[in-house]
Amino acid sequence: MPINSARGGASAKGFGFTAGVKDAELDYLVVAGGGGAGSGQNNNVSGGGGGAGGYRTSFPGGTAILIKNGVSTPVTVGGGGAGSTTDCTSGITGSSSIFSTITSAGGGGGGGHRGKAGENGGSGGGGGTGTGGGPALGGTGNTPPVSPPQGNNGGDAFNGGTCTGGTYNRAGGGGGGASVTGGNGLSPTPSTSIGGSGGTGSANLISGCSVNYAGGGAGGGNFTGGTGGTGGGGNGGSGIPGSPSTTRNGTLGTVNTGGGGGGGGYGTCTGAPNTPSGGSGGSGIVIIRSRNTSYGLTASPGTNTISYAPCGANIATFTVPGSVTVGAYVTPTLVDFLVVAGGGGGGRCGGAGGGAGGYRTSFPGGTKITLTPGAYPITVGAGGAGKSGVGRGASGADSIFSTITSAGGGGGSGRDGGAGNEPGSAGGSGGGGQYDFPGSQGAGNTPPVASSPLMPGGQGFPGGPKGAPSNDPAGGGGGASAAGNPTGFQTSPTAGVGGAGLSNSITGSPVAYAGGGGGGGPSASGVMGLGGSGGGGKGNTPASPSPSAAGTVNTGGGGGGCTGNISPAAGSGGSGIVIVRAPGSAGFTAAPGTNTVTTLPAPAGGCKVANFTVPGTLTIS
């Protein structure tokens, strides 16, 4: 798979243009926006699924596009069509994606009430059901026609008349996918119906790993919704009598896959919407890959990215409209990183410890990031404030470098001023649980990041739960290597210990980061929870009314929790840090001057280390 990508906008610096060099041969994947799905209705009606966005590619082995050196070529990334939210209407067809001479058409909208046919498009939308009998046909795919085809037809609706308990067995058709036609709505028995499945999409390796694109959205069912097609297709809404209203809306097509939205289900039952919505289609994507290392690519704006294939060739990925430019190839610099977010603040009044900031690293031995010459913004997340009134502490802020984002630690739980509780927040590591409320700890590794030997909990671990009911200690915040309260419930009036952090030697010396904050002790005879190694702050108790400790600055440690309504506030989380390490040959500068660049002595071989303790900019030359 490719080395992790760097911001495409930063790649432009240092790309000169070579006179007399032949036009660049570029492979492409162009996927349009998926179609929105039709809605259901309270008169025994289900909507058709949206068709997948048109799918066109030259990879591998197809005819490449020729682009001149130095010329900026616009790239259009189609948006997904809106799903229907009103009675008797179909979903909206998605928008086209365009690169050079290649245009992929948006997926057709799914049919709505009164037996509306699916719309034509890159892949056709599924037919909708309705009164009056007769099937509603799926829309035509590969519209306008290209060779090889850009998509397939949508499936037909099943519009049967058998009524069971007031519900007719009708089912919308599935939207077509890049590889397979959408499924027809089905009625396996007189008393059941199943929405048509979304057509299967296609897998492509142009990005360096296999990813599925352009799956059709499934049709809604008066009893059971269909399953979205592989490649981002949304699931259809269900209409099983007595089912909750939340299952009756179709789900969205996945962003940047061109998947079609799922059709709305049947809407009659207490508490259900009268018009269950069809899901909107997923936006499209454009990926452009140089066939060799004679050329370099730049992509703008910076939301779009440049990465490197195993052979070294550039890959430009467009998730939003922009432009691509071909220039001279620039040898990339491989860098290691440590990105730690701000820790969460401790809670007050039975307050728990704050969770450590998310911890992500490539050092030692992980997957490095590839950077080309240019300026890269660095975000160093602030720690969350410890609670000064009663309630939950504030979550820490994210730290960001290139494609790596570490999430702020979750705030520790605390009472809300009444008889209730403000639970610990989820985050890089989760905030601990309040002493009166079991299960009030926050989840860690949120949003999820894959675990590895360097990061056993992904970004971090959950906060610790409250202690034994007779003693009511508060939980510690989670850390990078362990959950809060790592030994489980306490058996004496001792608050939970913050989860331990992790040590890292990216700077040349071992330093611990991302320890969870300790919980507040429960009573005058209680014992405060200690902070986890890696900057976690200790809690306090009525017997020791000194302030709860803040997490250590630039470690991402969580703040300590505060018990009762005694005067001190809970501890704030420690700020995060970003460290980037590169070979000695790299040209590194760090701004502003608070941030530093150092050269390591042997045996590190003169590696350069940029240390960011405040937000700034890393420039590579």
Query: Which residue did the predictor score with more confidence, 275 or 23?
Result: 23
CA angle at residue 343 from 340 to 467, to 5 degrees?
125
Q: Three-state DSSP class for 26?
A: strand
CA–CA distance, 98 with 287 (Å, rounded to integer): 11
pLDDT tens digits for 258-313?
Answer: 999 999 987 654 444 567 889 999 999 999 999 888 888 989 887 888 888 777 78
Residue, of 19 and 308, whose pLDDT is higher: 308
User: SS3 for 97?
Assistant: strand
Residue 375 has what pLDDT? Answer: 87
Q: Specify whether the CB–CB gap between 344 and 389 falls below 8 A.
A: no
Distance between CA 213 and CA 105 in Å, rounded?
Answer: 14
- Give yes or no for residue 11 having a pLDDT over 50: no
Residue 3, pLDDT score:
36
- CA distances to 204, 393, 433, 436, 516 from 561, rounded to whole Å, are 50, 9, 10, 14, 11
For residue 559, how far is the Cα from the chain centroid?
A: 27
Report the run of H or E that residue 375 belongs to, with start and end. Answer: strand 374-379
Instruction: Check: CB of residue 89 under 8 Å from CB of residue 36.
Output: no
Answer whether residue 501 shows pLDDT above 60: yes
pLDDT of 495 reads 80
Count of Cβ atoms closer than 10 Å to residue 190 Cβ: 12
Do residues 176 and 124 make contact, with C-beta atoms less than 8 angstroms apart?
yes
DSSP class of residue 194 equals B
Torsion of CA 81, 64, 11, 585, to 10 degrees: 140
Indicate the residue type of 128: G
Whether the CB-CB separation of 106 and 35 falls below 8 Å is answered with yes
Q: What is the DSSP letter of 15?
A: -
Note the pLDDT of residue 489: 46
Q: In which band, very low, low, confident or very high, does the pLDDT at 20 lie, cut at 50, 70 and 90?
A: very low
Give residue-wise pLDDT tens across range 544-599.
Answer: 667 889 999 999 999 999 876 665 789 999 999 999 999 988 888 999 989 999 99
d(CA 163, CA 28): 50
pLDDT score recorded for residue 488:
41
Q: Which residue has the higher pLDDT, 523 or 569?
A: 569
Token pair recorded at residue 620: 């590579």
89: DSSP letter: -
What sign for the dihedral angle of Cα 135, 139, 141, 144? positive
Cβ-proximal residues to 265 (8 Å cutoff; 6+ apart), any chain = 40, 46, 47, 195, 220, 221, 222, 225, 236, 237, 238, 239, 247, 248, 249, 250, 276
3-state secondary structure 217-237: CCCCECCECCCCCCCCCCCCC
Q: State residue 18's pLDDT score.
A: 40
Distance from C-alpha of 223 to C-alpha of 549, rounded to nearest angstrom: 56
Average of pLDDT values for 16-30?
71
| β partners of residue 74 | 323
Which of 498, 585, 584, 608 is CA-nearest to residue 549? 498
Q: Which two tokens stand for residue 414?
A: 């605390």
310-356 pLDDT, tens per residue?
Answer: 777 889 999 999 999 998 887 788 899 999 999 999 998 878 999 99
Q: Name the pLDDT band for 188 (thresholds 50, 70, 90).
A: confident
The separation between the first and the last C-alpha atoms of the chain, rounded to the nearest angstrom, is 26
Token pair recorded at residue 565: 């309504």
CA distance 260 to 138: 13
- Banded model confidence at residue 373, pLDDT cuts 50, 70, 90: confident
Residue 11: helix, strand or coil by DSSP? helix
Could you give the C-alpha distances from 553 to 241, 316, 347, 498, 550, in angstroms and in order? 56, 38, 19, 16, 8
Does residue 22 surpass a pLDDT of 90?
no
Confidence of residue 116 (pLDDT cuts 50, 70, 90): confident
pLDDT of residue 290: 92
Tell me which range, 92-106, 292-306, 532-546, is most confidently predicted by mean pLDDT.
Answer: 92-106
pLDDT digit string, tens, across residues 386-422: 998 888 999 999 999 988 999 999 999 988 766 567 8
Q: Any idea where the domains of the chain sit in the sequence?
A: 28-293, 331-367+380-576
**Total H helices, total E strands in the chain:** 0, 31
Residues 184 and 174: their CA atoms lie apart, in Å, by: 6
Please state, in angstroms and rounded to a whole number, the distance separating the CA atoms of residues 189 and 186. Answer: 9
Q: Flag whether pLDDT at 228 surpasses 70.
A: yes
Q: Which of 297, 263, 307 is nearest to 281 (CA)?
A: 263
Arithmetic mean of pLDDT, 122-139: 83
Query: What does the block give as tokens for 352?
Result: 């728990």
Mean of per-residue pLDDT scores for the chain: 87
Nearest to 563 by CA among 363, 375, 350, 261: 350
Beta strands in 380-506 (DSSP E): 399-401, 404-406, 414-415, 421-422, 502-504
User: Looking at residue 43, what is its pLDDT?
Assistant: 63
- At residue 213, what are phi and psi to the nearest 5 degrees? -135, 160
Lowest mean pLDDT among 14-28, 112-126, 451-465: 14-28
Identify each DSSP E strand in 17-142 by its residue range. Answer: 24-31, 55-57, 65-67, 72-76, 97-99, 102-104
pLDDT band at residue 7 under the 50/70/90 scheme: very low
Quick one: pLDDT at residue 246? 55
pLDDT band of residue 221 (cuts 50, 70, 90) is confident
Say whether pLDDT at 490 is over 50.
no
pLDDT at 19 over 60: no
Position 124 scores a pLDDT of: 98
Buried-state track 528-567, b at ≥16 Cβ within 10 A, e below 16: bbbbbbbbbbbbbbbebeebbbbbbebbbbbbbbbbbebe
Angle, vertex CA 614, rays to CA 602 and CA 538, nearest 5: 90
Res 259: pLDDT? 98
Q: How far apart are CA 540 and CA 394, in angstroms?
A: 18
- Give the global pTM: 0.71
Name the 3-class secondary structure at 72.
strand
Backbone CA torsion sign across 13, 14, 19, 21: negative
**CA R_g for the chain:** 28
- % of the chain exceeding 70 in pLDDT: 86
